[in-house]
């Protein structure tokens, strides 16, 4: 879950892991630790027709989530981070 200073000033002021409520480290509006962010709009053929879901997970909770996958995540090394 993300909180911004205000609607007019978009500076990020708080990121909390939705799973465990851990507050992630921020410096001047930038995340200083790993965070998995999801922002997804469900399509017409889903049970959540046109609903948007957003959440953030700390790295520990992300690791626990993917550890339960029957098929592992695809892992690709990126040379540059945006
Ligand atoms: Zn967490």
Q: For residue 18, count other CB atoms closer than 10 A to its CB.
A: 15
The percentage of the chain sitting over the pLDDT mark of 90, rounded to a whole number, equals: 77
Q: pLDDT class for 62, splitting at 50, 70, 90? A: very high
CA of 45 to the centre of ligand 1 (A): 30
> What pTM did the predictor assign?
0.85
In a domain, 77, yes or no: no
Instruction: Give the residue-averaged pLDDT of 3-9.
Output: 82
Q: What is the pLDDT of residues 31-41, one digit of tens each?
A: 999 999 999 99
Number of structural domains in the chain? 1
CA of 36 to the centre of ligand 1 (A): 10
Buried b (16+ CB within 10 A) or exposed e, 39-64: eeeeeeeeeeeeeeeeebbbeebbee
User: What is the DSSP code string of 18-51?
Assistant: TTT-PBPPEETTEE-S-EEEEEEE--TTSTTTT-
Instruction: Judge whether 12 lies within some domain.
Output: yes
Residue 75 included in any domain:
no
The two structure tokens encoding residue 60? 């520990």
Domain membership flag for residue 79: no
The predicted model gives 42-58 an average pLDDT of 93
Q: Which domain holds residue 31?
A: 2-67
* Cα 44 to averaged position of ligand 1 atoms, centre (Å): 30
Task: Quickly state the pLDDT bin for 77 (edges 50, 70, 90).
Answer: very high
- Tell me the backbone φ, ψ of residue 44, rounded to 5 degrees: -60, -30
Kindly state whether residue 72 falls inside one of the protein's structural domains.
no
């Amino acid at each position: 879950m993300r909180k911004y200073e205000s609607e007019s000033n978009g500076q990020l002021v708080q990121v909390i892991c939705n799973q465990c409520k851990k507050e992630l480290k921020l410096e001047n509006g930038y995340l200083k630790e790993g965070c998995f962010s999801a922002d997804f709009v469900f399509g017409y053929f889903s049970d959540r027709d046109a609903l948007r879901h957003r959440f953030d997970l700390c790295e520990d909770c992300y690791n626990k989530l993917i550890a339960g996958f029957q098929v592992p995540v695809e892992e690709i090394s990126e040379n540059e981070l945006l």
